[in-house]
Amino acid sequence: MGVRVEREDFDVGAEVRRLTAGRTDIGAIVTFTGTVRDGNDGAAIAGMTLEHYPGMTEAELARVEAEAGKRWPLQASLIVHRVGTLKPGDNIVLVVTASAHRAAAFAAAEFLMDYLKTRAPFWKKETHADGSERWVESRDSDDTAAARW
């Protein structure tokens, strides 16, 4: 179990190995990795800066993770979210869930992503290929996705 907010990149394989080391009660591991796209709403993206609310971000991610642990029988879970300046192709977020069976691991991973997108205090600012900048606006589809849980 754990949440981390950091500037550095993460290695999905290394994170999974660390999370599940020595465990033989896990039958299913689901990972989700979110990455920076090179385009958004028709604009070419040159880069992205992620800002957050230190202190609240970690608290909110921990609340979301604890909620997932109440709803599904998880043996382990992890949320890593990057901040700072990123470029297309870079990793942004990693969610790992481990359970005895796949149904819980899949559902919990999707829940964690849907919830963190609507609750964790991160904000993205895009830099476009022409040098202009724009704060990314929240999507109604994210609220809809979170509401179904």
Residues near other proteins, by CB under 8 A: 34, 50-53, 55-56, 59-60, 81, 92-93, 113, 116-125, 135-138, 142
User: Which of residues 20 and 40 has its CB atom nearest to other proteins in the complex?
Assistant: 40
User: Which of residues 1 and 63 has its CB atom nearest to other proteins in the complex?
Assistant: 63
User: Which of residues 100 and 106 has its CB atom nearest to other proteins in the complex?
Assistant: 106
How remote is the C-alpha of 112 from its chain's centroid? 8
Residue 32 tokens, joined: 């989700």
Q: Which residue has 């993206």 as its token pair?
A: 45
Report how far residue 114's alpha carbon sits from residue 79's, in angstroms, rounded to the nearest whole number.
13
**CB 137 → other proteins: shortest distance, Å?**
7
**CB 100 → other proteins: shortest distance, Å?**
27
Report how far residue 102's alpha carbon sits from residue 112's, in angstroms, rounded to the nearest whole number.
15
Tell me the β-bridge partners of 74.
99
**CB 35 → other proteins: shortest distance, Å?**
11
